[in-house]
């Protein structure tokens, strides 16, 4: 590919500002093709990153072997770092975001009381949580008591 240099253009008596030759258009098309290919590759990489980020919600923090063998080394590192960041975030909030990924069909749940808590005021009523009693409560009202399981009373 021989680009016409400005001296050669002037020797031929052509105006440097208005002369457009085939080589110039060829270089422009080549550049635009490179820019397009770069955008396509960046879209592909972003799509892969989104899929890898969503794996933690589907399979958990440890990848199965059949998925792991399809990832590159950099993608495995990305998954591990993303998993560690999510785990750190959940531990700071003291909340597991991977629980109940599907919304419940019924907003009420049946609760069996293991320890005597006493009378508790919820959003719309008072309830006596005596040992071995059973209640139908809104899930949001029961969550604060479910989270106490396994922890010493405060």
* Per-residue pLDDT tens digits of the chain, which is 154 residues long: 445 555 665 666 655 555 556 567 788 889 999 999 999 999 999 999 999 999 988 888 888 999 999 999 999 999 999 999 999 998 998 887 877 677 778 778 888 888 787 887 776 777 788 888 888 888 777 777 765 555 444 4
**Predicted local distance difference test score (pLDDT) of residue 5:** 58
Domain ranges, residue 74:
10-93
The verdict on 24 and 67 lying in the same domain is yes
Contact between 120 and 129 (Cβ < 8 Å): yes
Report the CATH number at residue 46: 1.20.58.1030
Quote the number of domains for the chain: 2
Does residue 98 lie within any of the structural domains?
Answer: no
Pairwise CA distance, residues 92 & 7, whole Å: 68
The verdict on 86 and 116 lying in the same domain is no
Pairwise CA distance, residues 11 & 5, whole Å: 10
Strands 118-121 and 126-129: what pairing?
A: antiparallel
Distances (CA, A) of 24 to 8, 51, 114: 14, 41, 81
């Amino acid at each position: 590919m021989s680009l016409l240099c400005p001296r050669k253009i002037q020797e031929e008596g052509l105006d440097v500002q208005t002369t457009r030759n085939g080589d110039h258009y060829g270089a422009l098309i080549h550049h635009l093709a490179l820019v397009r290919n770069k955008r396509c590759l960046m879209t592909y990489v972003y799509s892969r990153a989104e899929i890898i980020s969503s794996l933690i919600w589907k399979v958990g923090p440890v990848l199965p072997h059949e998925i792991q063998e399809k990832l590159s080394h950099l993608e495995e590192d990305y998954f591990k770092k993303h998993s560690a960041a999510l785990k750190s975030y959940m531990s700071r909030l003291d909340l597991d975001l991977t629980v109940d990924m599907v919304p419940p069909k019924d907003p009420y749940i049946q609760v069996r009381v293991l320890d005597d808590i006493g009378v508790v005021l919820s959003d719309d009523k008072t309830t006596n949580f005596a040992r071995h009693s059973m209640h139908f409560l809104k899930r949001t009202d029961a969550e604060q008591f479910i989270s106490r399981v396994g922890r010493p009373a405060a």
